[in-house]
Amino acid sequence: MLTILRKELVDYFTSIRCLVLFILVFIASAAAIYGAYYGIREASIDPGPVFIKLFTTGEDLPSLVVFIAMLVPIIGVALGFDAINGERSSGTLNRILSQPIYRDSVINGKFLAGIITLAIMIGAIILIVGGYGLRMIGVPPTAEEIIRIFIYFISAVIYGAFWMGLAILFSVLFRSLAVSLLFPMAIWILLGIPASVFNPYISFFVPAVSNSVSVQLMLMRLSPYFLFEEAYWVLLIPAWRGYGLLTTTTSSMLPNPLSLDQSLLIVWPQLTALIAITAVCFAISYVVFMRQEIRST
Protein backbone atom coordinates (compact mmCIF):
# COMPACT_ATOMS: atom_id res chain seq x y z
CA MET A 1 0.00 0.00 0.00
CA LEU A 2 2.90 2.35 0.62
CA THR A 3 3.86 1.99 -3.01
CA ILE A 4 0.39 3.00 -4.11
CA LEU A 5 0.28 5.82 -1.60
CA ARG A 6 3.57 7.18 -2.85
CA LYS A 7 2.54 6.89 -6.47
CA GLU A 8 -0.75 8.65 -5.82
CA LEU A 9 1.00 11.47 -4.00
CA VAL A 10 3.47 11.93 -6.83
CA ASP A 11 0.54 11.85 -9.23
CA TYR A 12 -1.32 14.54 -7.34
CA PHE A 13 1.61 16.83 -7.00
CA THR A 14 2.68 16.63 -10.60
CA SER A 15 -0.79 17.03 -12.05
CA ILE A 16 -2.13 20.18 -13.63
CA ARG A 17 -5.19 19.77 -11.48
CA CYS A 18 -3.08 20.24 -8.40
CA LEU A 19 -1.42 23.31 -9.86
CA VAL A 20 -4.81 24.87 -10.49
CA LEU A 21 -5.88 24.08 -6.95
CA PHE A 22 -2.73 25.61 -5.54
CA ILE A 23 -3.29 28.77 -7.56
CA LEU A 24 -6.79 28.93 -6.11
CA VAL A 25 -5.31 28.48 -2.66
CA PHE A 26 -2.89 31.35 -3.16
CA ILE A 27 -5.54 33.65 -4.52
CA ALA A 28 -7.77 32.87 -1.55
CA SER A 29 -4.92 33.49 0.88
CA ALA A 30 -4.01 36.78 -0.74
CA ALA A 31 -7.59 37.96 -0.74
CA ALA A 32 -8.01 36.93 2.86
CA ILE A 33 -4.90 38.75 3.98
CA TYR A 34 -6.03 41.82 2.17
CA GLY A 35 -9.47 41.67 3.74
CA ALA A 36 -8.14 40.92 7.19
CA TYR A 37 -5.68 43.78 7.03
CA TYR A 38 -8.39 46.36 6.65
CA GLY A 39 -10.82 44.52 8.83
CA ILE A 40 -8.54 44.20 11.80
CA ARG A 41 -7.56 47.84 11.85
CA GLU A 42 -11.12 48.75 12.54
CA ALA A 43 -11.81 45.94 14.90
CA SER A 44 -8.61 46.16 16.86
CA ILE A 45 -10.22 48.17 19.58
CA ASP A 46 -12.35 45.15 20.45
CA PRO A 47 -11.26 43.12 23.42
CA GLY A 48 -10.31 39.50 23.03
CA PRO A 49 -7.85 37.60 20.89
CA VAL A 50 -6.43 39.48 17.93
CA PHE A 51 -4.44 36.98 15.97
CA ILE A 52 -7.36 34.69 15.33
CA LYS A 53 -9.27 37.58 13.82
CA LEU A 54 -6.96 37.32 10.85
CA PHE A 55 -9.00 34.31 9.86
CA THR A 56 -12.43 35.59 10.52
CA THR A 57 -12.43 39.22 9.48
CA GLY A 58 -12.74 40.63 6.03
CA GLU A 59 -13.55 44.09 4.90
CA ASP A 60 -15.87 43.79 1.95
CA LEU A 61 -14.29 40.54 0.92
CA PRO A 62 -15.29 37.28 2.54
CA SER A 63 -12.97 36.27 5.33
CA LEU A 64 -10.53 33.42 5.14
CA VAL A 65 -12.77 30.91 6.87
CA VAL A 66 -15.48 31.60 4.33
CA PHE A 67 -12.98 31.15 1.54
CA ILE A 68 -11.81 27.88 3.00
CA ALA A 69 -15.35 26.65 3.51
CA MET A 70 -15.91 27.24 -0.20
CA LEU A 71 -12.57 25.99 -1.41
CA VAL A 72 -12.28 22.79 0.59
CA PRO A 73 -15.20 20.98 -1.04
CA ILE A 74 -13.86 21.93 -4.47
CA ILE A 75 -10.44 20.54 -3.60
CA GLY A 76 -11.97 17.40 -2.12
CA VAL A 77 -14.13 16.70 -5.15
CA ALA A 78 -11.31 17.53 -7.55
CA LEU A 79 -9.05 15.04 -5.81
CA GLY A 80 -11.55 12.23 -5.65
CA PHE A 81 -13.93 12.29 -8.58
CA ASP A 82 -11.84 10.19 -10.94
CA ALA A 83 -10.13 8.00 -8.34
CA ILE A 84 -11.54 4.68 -9.46
CA ASN A 85 -13.39 5.20 -12.73
CA GLY A 86 -10.46 7.15 -14.15
CA GLU A 87 -8.21 4.16 -13.64
CA ARG A 88 -10.91 1.88 -14.90
CA SER A 89 -11.36 3.71 -18.17
CA SER A 90 -7.65 4.14 -18.77
CA GLY A 91 -7.22 0.39 -18.35
CA THR A 92 -4.80 0.62 -15.46
CA LEU A 93 -7.16 -0.73 -12.82
CA ASN A 94 -7.19 -4.34 -13.99
CA ARG A 95 -3.44 -4.24 -14.50
CA ILE A 96 -2.87 -3.04 -10.93
CA LEU A 97 -5.37 -5.49 -9.49
CA SER A 98 -3.63 -8.39 -11.19
CA GLN A 99 -0.57 -7.64 -9.07
CA PRO A 100 -0.17 -9.35 -5.70
CA ILE A 101 -1.76 -6.60 -3.62
CA TYR A 102 -4.95 -6.48 -1.62
CA ARG A 103 -7.72 -4.84 -3.50
CA ASP A 104 -8.48 -2.49 -0.62
CA SER A 105 -4.96 -1.09 -0.64
CA VAL A 106 -5.84 0.62 -3.92
CA ILE A 107 -8.77 2.55 -2.50
CA ASN A 108 -7.09 3.07 0.89
CA GLY A 109 -3.98 4.41 -0.78
CA LYS A 110 -5.97 6.85 -2.84
CA PHE A 111 -7.99 8.05 0.11
CA LEU A 112 -4.93 8.53 2.26
CA ALA A 113 -2.99 10.31 -0.48
CA GLY A 114 -6.00 12.60 -0.95
CA ILE A 115 -6.14 13.43 2.74
CA ILE A 116 -2.43 14.21 2.81
CA THR A 117 -2.79 16.47 -0.21
CA LEU A 118 -5.77 18.20 1.38
CA ALA A 119 -3.86 18.69 4.62
CA ILE A 120 -0.93 20.20 2.79
CA MET A 121 -3.14 22.62 0.90
CA ILE A 122 -5.18 23.75 3.87
CA GLY A 123 -2.04 23.89 5.97
CA ALA A 124 -0.45 26.07 3.33
CA ILE A 125 -3.30 28.58 3.38
CA ILE A 126 -3.28 28.81 7.16
CA LEU A 127 0.47 29.20 7.34
CA ILE A 128 0.60 31.81 4.61
CA VAL A 129 -2.14 33.89 6.14
CA GLY A 130 -0.78 33.36 9.64
CA GLY A 131 2.74 34.27 8.60
CA TYR A 132 1.88 37.39 6.69
CA GLY A 133 -0.66 38.34 9.30
CA LEU A 134 1.94 38.13 12.01
CA ARG A 135 4.17 40.54 10.18
CA MET A 136 1.27 42.87 9.56
CA ILE A 137 -0.25 43.09 12.99
CA GLY A 138 2.77 42.17 15.05
CA VAL A 139 0.71 40.42 17.71
CA PRO A 140 1.82 36.82 18.17
CA PRO A 141 -0.85 34.19 18.74
CA THR A 142 -1.43 32.93 22.23
CA ALA A 143 -1.17 29.22 22.95
CA GLU A 144 -4.92 29.01 23.08
CA GLU A 145 -5.24 30.58 19.67
CA ILE A 146 -2.75 28.16 18.22
CA ILE A 147 -4.72 25.23 19.58
CA ARG A 148 -7.95 26.66 18.22
CA ILE A 149 -6.42 27.15 14.81
CA PHE A 150 -4.96 23.67 14.85
CA ILE A 151 -8.29 22.09 15.67
CA TYR A 152 -9.86 24.24 13.01
CA PHE A 153 -7.26 22.90 10.58
CA ILE A 154 -8.13 19.32 11.51
CA SER A 155 -11.83 19.94 11.09
CA ALA A 156 -11.25 21.54 7.69
CA VAL A 157 -9.27 18.48 6.60
CA ILE A 158 -12.06 16.22 7.81
CA TYR A 159 -14.58 18.35 5.96
CA GLY A 160 -12.49 18.06 2.79
CA ALA A 161 -12.16 14.33 3.36
CA PHE A 162 -15.93 14.10 3.41
CA TRP A 163 -16.21 15.68 -0.02
CA MET A 164 -13.41 13.56 -1.34
CA GLY A 165 -15.05 10.45 0.11
CA LEU A 166 -18.29 11.43 -1.57
CA ALA A 167 -16.52 11.96 -4.88
CA ILE A 168 -14.70 8.63 -4.57
CA LEU A 169 -18.02 6.96 -3.84
CA PHE A 170 -19.45 8.28 -7.10
CA SER A 171 -16.30 7.32 -8.94
CA VAL A 172 -16.80 3.76 -7.73
CA LEU A 173 -20.50 3.73 -8.56
CA PHE A 174 -20.38 5.34 -12.00
CA ARG A 175 -18.19 4.60 -14.95
CA SER A 176 -18.46 8.06 -16.42
CA LEU A 177 -16.16 10.82 -15.21
CA ALA A 178 -18.71 13.50 -16.00
CA VAL A 179 -21.30 11.87 -13.76
CA SER A 180 -18.92 11.35 -10.87
CA LEU A 181 -17.86 15.00 -11.09
CA LEU A 182 -21.36 16.45 -11.45
CA PHE A 183 -23.05 14.48 -8.69
CA PRO A 184 -20.91 15.68 -5.77
CA MET A 185 -20.89 19.19 -7.22
CA ALA A 186 -24.67 19.17 -7.40
CA ILE A 187 -24.87 17.99 -3.80
CA TRP A 188 -22.45 20.70 -2.78
CA ILE A 189 -24.54 23.42 -4.41
CA LEU A 190 -27.72 21.98 -2.97
CA LEU A 191 -26.33 21.94 0.55
CA GLY A 192 -24.99 25.44 0.11
CA ILE A 193 -28.47 26.84 -0.37
CA PRO A 194 -29.53 28.38 2.96
CA ALA A 195 -31.85 26.15 4.87
CA SER A 196 -34.48 28.87 5.01
CA VAL A 197 -35.15 28.30 1.34
CA PHE A 198 -36.37 24.82 2.13
CA ASN A 199 -38.50 25.78 5.08
CA PRO A 200 -41.68 26.35 3.09
CA TYR A 201 -41.32 22.92 1.50
CA ILE A 202 -40.60 21.21 4.75
CA SER A 203 -43.50 22.82 6.50
CA PHE A 204 -45.71 21.94 3.58
CA PHE A 205 -44.97 18.26 3.79
CA VAL A 206 -44.46 17.93 7.53
CA PRO A 207 -46.14 20.89 9.16
CA ALA A 208 -45.11 19.97 12.67
CA VAL A 209 -41.48 20.37 11.85
CA SER A 210 -41.47 24.00 10.93
CA ASN A 211 -42.71 25.04 14.30
CA SER A 212 -40.01 23.32 16.22
CA VAL A 213 -36.68 25.05 16.07
CA SER A 214 -34.86 22.09 17.50
CA VAL A 215 -36.21 19.74 14.83
CA GLN A 216 -35.08 22.19 12.17
CA LEU A 217 -31.73 22.35 13.80
CA MET A 218 -31.51 18.61 13.82
CA LEU A 219 -32.27 18.48 10.12
CA MET A 220 -29.64 21.08 9.44
CA ARG A 221 -27.13 19.08 11.37
CA LEU A 222 -27.48 16.30 8.87
CA SER A 223 -25.73 18.57 6.44
CA PRO A 224 -21.95 18.52 6.45
CA TYR A 225 -22.01 22.07 5.22
CA PHE A 226 -23.76 23.26 8.30
CA LEU A 227 -21.77 21.05 10.65
CA PHE A 228 -18.53 22.52 9.44
CA GLU A 229 -19.82 26.07 9.54
CA GLU A 230 -20.97 25.67 13.10
CA ALA A 231 -17.69 24.07 14.08
CA TYR A 232 -15.48 26.79 12.74
CA TRP A 233 -17.49 29.67 14.08
CA VAL A 234 -17.39 28.18 17.53
CA LEU A 235 -13.70 27.43 17.27
CA LEU A 236 -12.51 30.68 15.86
CA ILE A 237 -14.92 33.23 17.28
CA PRO A 238 -15.18 32.48 20.96
CA ALA A 239 -17.70 35.25 21.42
CA TRP A 240 -19.95 33.99 18.70
CA ARG A 241 -23.49 32.89 19.43
CA GLY A 242 -25.65 31.52 16.72
CA TYR A 243 -27.87 28.83 15.40
CA GLY A 244 -28.20 26.09 17.95
CA LEU A 245 -26.24 27.75 20.70
CA LEU A 246 -28.86 30.39 21.13
CA THR A 247 -31.60 27.92 21.51
CA THR A 248 -29.96 25.50 23.85
CA THR A 249 -31.17 25.96 27.35
CA THR A 250 -27.68 26.20 28.67
CA SER A 251 -26.70 29.07 26.46
CA SER A 252 -27.53 31.67 29.06
CA MET A 253 -25.16 29.99 31.44
CA LEU A 254 -22.27 30.01 29.02
CA PRO A 255 -19.63 32.61 29.69
CA ASN A 256 -18.79 35.02 26.93
CA PRO A 257 -16.35 34.53 25.28
CA LEU A 258 -16.17 30.77 25.51
CA SER A 259 -13.10 29.25 27.00
CA LEU A 260 -11.15 26.76 24.96
CA ASP A 261 -12.44 23.63 26.57
CA GLN A 262 -16.00 24.84 26.38
CA SER A 263 -15.59 25.52 22.69
CA LEU A 264 -14.20 22.07 22.23
CA LEU A 265 -17.06 20.58 24.16
CA ILE A 266 -19.51 22.32 21.90
CA VAL A 267 -17.87 21.42 18.59
CA TRP A 268 -17.07 17.87 19.59
CA PRO A 269 -20.43 16.50 18.35
CA GLN A 270 -20.05 18.44 15.12
CA LEU A 271 -16.62 16.99 14.52
CA THR A 272 -17.65 13.44 15.31
CA ALA A 273 -20.68 13.82 13.06
CA LEU A 274 -18.41 15.00 10.24
CA ILE A 275 -16.07 12.09 10.81
CA ALA A 276 -19.04 9.73 10.88
CA ILE A 277 -20.52 10.82 7.54
CA THR A 278 -17.05 10.74 5.99
CA ALA A 279 -16.57 7.24 7.30
CA VAL A 280 -19.97 6.21 5.94
CA CYS A 281 -19.07 7.52 2.46
CA PHE A 282 -15.76 5.78 2.53
CA ALA A 283 -17.22 2.54 3.89
CA ILE A 284 -19.83 2.38 1.12
CA SER A 285 -17.18 3.02 -1.56
CA TYR A 286 -15.00 0.41 0.06
CA VAL A 287 -17.64 -2.28 0.19
CA VAL A 288 -18.90 -1.60 -3.32
CA PHE A 289 -15.40 -1.51 -4.72
CA MET A 290 -14.40 -4.76 -3.02
CA ARG A 291 -17.23 -6.70 -4.62
CA GLN A 292 -17.29 -4.89 -7.91
CA GLU A 293 -16.73 -6.48 -11.28
CA ILE A 294 -13.49 -4.98 -12.46
CA ARG A 295 -13.61 -5.61 -16.18
CA SER A 296 -13.71 -2.43 -18.17
CA THR A 297 -15.45 -3.75 -21.24
Partner 1 sequence: MGKKIVVKTEGLTKKYDGVTVVDNLNLQVAENEVFGLLGPNGAGKTTTILMLLGLTEPASGTAQVYGFDSTREPLKVKRLAGYLPEKVGFYDTLTARENLRFITELNNIGYAESEPLIEQVLKSVGLGEVGDKTVNKFSRGMKQRLGIADVLVKKPKVAFLDEPTAGLDPEGINQIIDLIANLPKTGTTVVFSSHRLYEVQRVCHSIGILSKGKMVVEGSLDEVGRDALAEGRYRIEVETAEPSPQLVKVIKKIKGVRKVEAEGKVLRITADSDLRAEISKAVVQSGMALIQVKIQEFSLDDIYMKYFHEG
Ligand X SMILES: Nc1ncnc2c1ncn2[C@@H]1O[C@H](COP(=O)(O)OP(=O)(O)OP(=O)(O)O)[C@@H](O)[C@H]1O
Minimum gap (Å) between residue 294 Cβ and ligand X: 10
Which of ligand X, partner 1, none does residue 214 bind (CB under 5 to 8 Å by kind)? none
11 is a site residue for partner 1 (CB under 8 A): yes
Supply φ then ψ for residue 86, to 5 degrees: -65, -45
191 Cβ contact partners less than 8 Å away, ≥ 6 residues apart:
223, 224, 225, 226
Q: CA–CA separation, 144 vs 126, rounded Å? A: 16
249 Cβ contact partners less than 8 Å away, ≥ 6 residues apart:
none
Minimum gap (Å) between residue 168 Cβ and partner 1: 18
Name the segment binding partner 1 (CB under 8 A); options: 19-27, 99-107, 149-157, 246-254. 99-107
Name the segment binding ligand X (CB under 6 A); options: 88-96, 191-199, 239-247, 289-297. 289-297
Cis upstream peptide for 257 (omega within 30°): yes
Minimum gap (Å) between residue 164 Cβ and partner 1: 20
Angle among Cα 274, 276, 277 to the nearest 5 degrees reads 70
Is residue 120 a contact partner of residue 25, using CB atoms and an 8 Å limit? no
With respect to ligand X, which residue has the nearer C-beta, 135 or 295?
295
Angle among Cα 127, 128, 134 to the nearest 5 degrees reads 85
Name the segment binding partner 1 (CB under 8 A); options: 71-79, 92-100, 140-148, 191-199. 92-100
295 is a site residue for ligand X (CB under 6 A): yes
**Interacting residues with partner 1 (CB under 8 A):** 3-4, 7, 11, 14-15, 90-92, 94-102, 293-297
Provide the binding-site residues for ligand X, judged by CB under 6 A.
Answer: 293, 295, 297
